[in-house]
Amino acid sequence: MAQAHVRVSPVDRKEKSGSVDHHDIEQFLFMEAKLLDQKRFNEWADLFCEDGTYWIPTEEEQVDPYSHASIIFDDKQSMMARIRRLGHPMIHAQSPPSRTTHIVTNIMTDLRMDKKEEFLVDACFTMFEYRDDEQLMYGGRYTYNLKILGGLLLIDKKIVKLVNSDAAHNIMAVYI
Amino acid sequence: MYTVNQLKSLVQKDRVHRRIYTDEDIFNLEMEKIFGKSWIFVGHESQVPDENDFITTSLGRQPVILVRGAGGKLSLLFNRCSHRGVKLCMKKNGSARSFVCPYHGWAFKNDGKLMGTPYREGFDDKFFEVEDLDLKSPPNIDSYRGFIFASLSEKIQPLDEYLGGIKSSIDDLCDRSPEGEISATAGCNRYIIRSNWKQQVDNGVDLYHAPFAHASTLDQDGRQFNRHGGGPSFYKPGTRKFIDFDPMGVWGFDNGHGFQGAVPQVDKPAGGAYQELYDSLRRKHGKERATKILEYDRFNTVVYPNLTFQAFGQHIRVIHPISVSKTEIRIYPVLLKGAPESWNREAVRSVAATHSPASMIQTDDVAVFERAQLGLQAESVEWVYFSRHMGAEKAEERGGYKGPGSSEFLLRRQYNDVWLKHMCE
């Protein structure tokens, strides 16, 4: 168990002293999902480290986003561009806007990392997206590298492995 | 079914009837006539580099296998057992000397020859003599600088002639590679457009839509994206006023092909991988030619009816019609062979930002195409107009025509000279 004086949630700014445990990480993931569902995208981006990345690969065994096509590969800079666009009045892909519900489950936490302040988390998700009279459903696995930086639990890497990553997708404008 | 006169009434000089986007009978006829009488892009040689390599894809709506057989010979086989019609190969790609039907075990060599029929004694010997039971192929397959096209038409003009002036765009893309070759082996982004396939073609050389359809992606300099420190801008330098598209020009050629002129760049790309790429091209071609090759003097290219590509955005886009109101698009990032690894890696990443199903640019186009399909359901309103800069295009000395950048002359030519001609044949 990592020993730290940690704010588990940068949103709630709830302080926790001592170790980060499985329950804290669960709550962190639920809160992340809730921020997306509530379209609090700037606050959601704040959950990422400065050099954090968000990646949706196209292939199950894909090793990196530079040698093979990806659906999304955002660093903080492109994440902020995407979020600015989500607030633009002329984003046609969000007219009408999406409503989403993320369900995060089967959370497995590896707390026994060599570095005491990094955690590997594996989870399953479904996301319902409703837009323009149609409901879509995405599902798959999330893998997270989480880090404690400056007393905050943050996302270093989030990878979204869709079960149908190589399918022909309807357009996606919001984060999964 | 449509008579020739009915078909002719759907296309006028500056407009087409809404039904060409919404009528299933028209769509079925297009698959037979447009996809049947053109050269259709089916893949890139780099996707089947070695003997026995194959990919599966579709020609129009028809399932096909593109395979490299003995001696490197390319074949395109209909992916359908000659016995009961079962799809032979379900893999997207792989290596195979033969394809065996899962139903009754009929086996075919990868050049299509029937080589095995289990329990053969139950058939009359004459059956195998009389019937041609090898896998069928479209009558024509050929390639230009690695771009493989096939045609269902026996009488079609040679590929080289069919491409004509648009070969210059393929050259422009391939010449950027120090080896003069590209590869399309960095995976694929696939997305569905809930609209007619021609929406994507119509948009192929449309500069006029950018300020409106892409407003949400323009940064404060009017740029949609940036590559190696350079990027085209839709704003006049130092202002938030949109540039005039007309001086950029748009070019059109026989058979419906065309390309857009370049959108002016805010900064020239420079440094790092760009310099390295420039240096290897300079060593091969000399300074002047290397500079010329790396200039972005054109934006999108359309090879009618199912291929568009871009050197700047470094991708190939292939249009697969599914139904009158559903289309699949496949985007392949393009790698320049012999270019610095970091150049190609950056290009692959850039395609995810510009042309994936979640990309920041393509999604707004798709949203607009889908809204066109919805709007065109208004049966009481008949016409769709392509009337910008009527008659302003001029014949070019090197062949083809050039019009003002926002001219819609390429669409007028596609529908009047190519679409209607094939549909009435």
**Per the structure block, which two tokens stand in for A167?**
């399918």
Count of pairs with CB atoms under 8 A, one residue in A, one in B: 105
- Name the CATH architecture for the domain at B42-142: 3-layer Sandwich (2.102)
Strand-pairing partners, residue B15, are: B12, B385
Which pLDDT belongs to residue A135? Answer: 97
Cα distance between residue B279 and residue B313, in whole Å: 21
CB B132 within 8 A of CB B117: no
- Quote the tokens at residue B364: 């707004």
Task: Taking residues A81-90, report their average pLDDT.
Answer: 94
Residues of A in contact with B188 (CB under 8 A): 58, 69, 166
Q: Say yes or no to pLDDT of B6 above 60.
A: yes
A152-162 and A48-57 as β-strands: parallel, antiparallel, unpaired?
parallel
CB B224, CB B217: distance < 8 Å: yes
Residue B139 CB: number of other CB atoms within 10 A? 12
Got the DSSP string for B160-204?
A: HHHHGGGHHHHHHHHTTSTTS-EE--S--EEEEESS-THHHHHTT
Confidence of residue B221 (pLDDT cuts 50, 70, 90): confident
Contact (CB, 8 A) for B191 and B358: no
Q: What is the pLDDT of residue A16?
A: 63
The set of residues, in sequence order, having a beta carbon less than 8 Å from that of B118 and lying 6+ positions away, is: B104, B105, B106
- pLDDT tens, position by position, A22-75: 888 999 999 999 999 999 999 999 999 999 999 999 999 999 999 999 999 999
| Six token digits for residue A126 | 């479904």
The string of pLDDT tens digits covering residues B322-364 is: 999 999 999 999 999 999 999 999 999 999 999 999 999 999 9
Q: For the packed helices B272-285 and B287-294, what is the interaxial angle rounded to 10 degrees?
A: 130
β-pairing, A118-131 vs B250-252, is: unpaired
Least confident of A81-90, B219-228, B233-242, B359-368: B219-228
CB B101 within 8 A of CB B77: no
Domain residue extents for chain B: 42-142, 165-424
Contacts of residue A103, defined as CB under 8 A and 6 or more positions apart, other chains included, come to A33, A125, A126, A127
Q: What is the mean pLDDT of residues B5-14?
A: 97
Contact B186 A92 (CB under 8 A): no
A171 in B contact zone (CB under 8 Å): yes
Which of A71, A89, A168 is the closest to B352 by Cβ? Answer: A71
Give me the residues paired with residue B240 across strands.
none
Name the minimum distance, in Å, from the CA of B128 to any CA of chain A: 40
Give phi and psi for B408, each to the nearest 5. Answer: -105, 25
Question: What three-state secondary structure class fits B219?
Answer: coil
SS3 B400: coil
Shortest Cα–Cα distance, B32 to chain A (Å): 24
H helix intervals, B286-361: 287-294, 341-355
Common-topology check for domains B42-142 and B165-424: no
Contacts of B363 in chain A (CB under 8 A): 92-93, 171-173
Residue among B194, B212, B352 whose CB faces A72 most closely: B352
Q: Do residues B302 and B165 make contact, with C-beta atoms less than 8 angstroms apart? A: no
- Quote the tokens at residue A41: 């995208």
In angstroms, the Cα distances linking A112 to A23, A116, A123, A126 are 15, 7, 17, 27
Instruction: Pick B216's closest partner by Cβ from A73, A90, A167.
Output: A90
Angle formed at CA A91 by CA A73 and CA B412, multiple of 5 degrees? 100
**Dihedral angle at the C-alpha atoms of B361, B367, B368, B370, nearest 10 degrees?**
140
CA distance A109 to A125: 15
Is the confidence at residue A11, as pLDDT, over 60? no
- Residue A151: predicted pLDDT: 82
pLDDT over 50 (residue A5)? no
**Structure confidence at residue A1 (pLDDT):** 42
Angle subtended by helix axes B272-285 and B341-355, to nearest 10: 120
Instruction: Please give the share of chain A, as a percent, with pLDDT higher than 70.
Output: 86
Integer Cα distance of B231 and B394 in angstroms: 29
Mean pLDDT to the nearest integer, B16-35: 98
Cα separation, B46 vs B133, in Å, equals 30
Q: Give residue B75's pLDDT band: very low, low, confident or very high (50, 70, 90).
A: very high
pLDDT given for residue A15 in this prediction: 62
Is the CATH number of domain A3-162 3.40.640.10?
A: no
The set of residues, in sequence order, having a beta carbon less than 8 Å from that of B233 and lying 6+ positions away, is: B221, B222, B223, B243, B263, B264, B265, B266
Q: Residues B78-86: what's their mean pLDDT?
A: 98
Contacts of A73 in chain B (CB under 8 A): 349, 352-353
The per-residue pLDDT of chain B, averaged, comes to 95
Look at A92 and B360 and tell me if their CB atoms are within 8 Å. Answer: no
Phi, psi of A16 (to 5 degrees): -135, 130
Closest-CA residue of A relative to B342 is A66
Sign of the C-alpha dihedral, residues B77, B83, B87, B93? negative
What pLDDT, on a 0 to 100 scale, did the predictor assign at position A12?
A: 56
Instruction: Please give the residue that has the higher pLDDT: either B16 or A8.
Output: B16
pLDDT in tens, A124-162: 999 999 999 999 999 999 999 999 888 889 999 999 999
**A 35-64 residues with CB below 8 A of B?**
56, 58-59, 62
- The CATH architecture annotation of domain B165-424 reads Alpha-Beta Complex (3.90)
Host H or E run for residue A84: helix A76-86
Q: What pLDDT digit, counting tens, does each position of B154-186 carry?
A: 999 999 999 999 999 999 999 999 999 999 999
Task: Please identify among residues 62-81 of chain A the ones whose CB lies closer than 8 Å to any CB of chain B.
Answer: 62, 65-73, 78, 81
Interface of B to A at Cβ within 8 Å reads: 92, 186-192, 194, 212-213, 215-217, 219, 328-333, 345-346, 348-349, 351-353, 356-358, 360, 362-364, 366-368, 371
Angstroms from A121 CA to nearest CA on chain B: 25
Q: Give the list of residues 6+ apart from residue B357 with CB closer than 8 angstroms, or none.
A: A71, A168, A169, A170, A171, A172, B189, B190, B191, B363
pLDDT band at B263 (very low <50, low <70, confident <90, very high): confident
Mean pLDDT of all residues in B293-305: 95
* A chain contacts of residue B329, beta-carbon cutoff 8 Å: 168
Chosen from B58, B363, B371, B373 to mutate, greatest number of chain A CBs within 10 A: B363
pLDDT value at A3 more than 50: no
Q: Please judge whether A71 and B189 are an interchain contact, meaning their C-beta atoms are less than 8 angstroms apart.
A: yes
Q: Which amino acid is at A156?
A: D
- The alpha carbon of B252 is separated from its chain's Cα centroid by a whole number of angstroms, namely 16
A20-34, pLDDT tens digit by residue? 888 889 999 999 999
CB B36 within 8 A of CB B60: yes
End-to-end distance of chain B based on CA atoms, in angstroms? Answer: 14
